[in-house]
Each structure stands twice: as structure tokens, then as C-alpha cells.
Amino acid sequence: MKNMGKNDILKLILCIIICQAVGSSGSVFTNMSVKTWYPTMVKPWFAPPDGLIPVVWIILFTLMGISLFLVWREGLDRPEVKAAIYIFALQFVFNIAWSGAFFGLRSPYYGLIVIVLLWLMILLTIFKFWQVSRNAALLLVPYILWVSFAMALNYNIMVLNP
């Protein structure tokens, strides 16, 4: 990252902390069912081991924080920056809502509906970030790939557990 001053480093750290904190807030719903309901579900052969999922999310939330920083750094006075950050925040609402629907309500069906909306919001976020910073948009590619995988997993769990 070019010309990082002390203020930029603080902004970067703040963005990563915000993404980690907001992202982990979905664990309120996950913790309700991850040790009780979820283990009883029939899962497809490609379901990752439980210990891998939190590690992936920590990495993704870190990349999201860096991405957010790169957009913020372009200046909040620019309308396209503000729009991109609003869309970014909205996709986070859907991220948390998925945990609420899937784990909180224990509903793969509602989880699937929310994760499709989340995927669309991530795509829109990537598009908006691309308009401001291509590097910021590219940092979100692993996120949409993981959510694509999670969507396939969610769908298969729904089908396998009628």
C-alpha cells in the first residue's frame, strides 16, 4: 500500500477490527446451534471440518477490512466512496442475517434465501468497490467464492434434511 502514514495505519487497523467484530457478531446465532442442532444434520461429502470454518472467516474478515480501508482511503467526500461503503455495510447485514436464519431459526430453507441475497449483495459490493479501487474489489473475490461454496453447502443440507 502506497504512502502509508500513521493515520492510514490506524484506519487500516480500525477497518479490520470493525470487520472482525461485526463478522463475529453472527456467532451469537451460530453458538445457539453449532453444538446441538448442526451436528445432527446430514451433510454432503464436501462439507468442511468444523474447525476450518472459523479460520476461513477470520481470514475473510481481515481481507474485507483491508478492502474497506482501501475504499475509505479514497475519501469519504466522494459520492462513489460513500455509496460503496453503504453497500458494504448492507452486505454485512445479510452476512449476519444468514447466521440468524440458518443457525438461529435452524432453517436451511430460510438460510438459502438469505445467502442468495448475501451473494447478490457481495457482487454489488465488488462492483461498487471496483469503481473506487480495483485492489479493494479483488480482495473481496475470496469472500464471494467462499459464500458460493457455503450456498452450495446450504442447499445440499436443505435437500438432505427435508
Q: Is residue 47 part of a domain?
A: yes
Q: Which cell numbers in the block locate residue 134?
A: 480495483
- The secondary element (H helix, E strand) that includes residue 116 is helix 108-132
Q: Is residue 20 part of a domain?
A: yes
pLDDT digits (tens, 9 = 90+) for 6-48: 888 999 999 999 999 999 998 888 887 888 999 999 999 999 9
Range of the domain at 133: 6-160
User: Cα–Cα distances in Å, from 33 out to 40, 99, 103?
Assistant: 10, 10, 6
Q: Is residue 114 part of a domain?
A: yes
DSSP string over 3-63: T--HHHHHHHHHHHHHHHHHHHHTHHHHHHHTTTTGGGS---TTPPPTTHHHHHHHHHHHH
Q: Is residue 1 part of a domain?
A: no
Q: Is residue 76 part of a domain?
A: yes
Q: Is residue 65 part of a domain?
A: yes
Query: Of 128, 124, 17, which Cα lies nearest the Cα of 71?
Result: 128
In this predicted structure, the answer to whether residue 2 has a pLDDT above a threshold of 80 is: no
- Model confidence at 50, pLDDT cuts 50, 70, 90, reads confident
Domain containing 57 — which CATH number?
Answer: 1.20.1260.100
Number of structural domains found in the chain? 1
Rounded to two decimals, the pTM is 0.93
Q: Is residue 104 part of a domain?
A: yes
Question: CA–CA separation, 59 vs 63, rounded Å?
Answer: 6
Question: CA–CA separation, 43 vs 15, rounded Å?
Answer: 34
DSSP type of residue 65 = H
Mean pLDDT, the chain, integer: 94
| Residue bearing cell 471440518 | 49
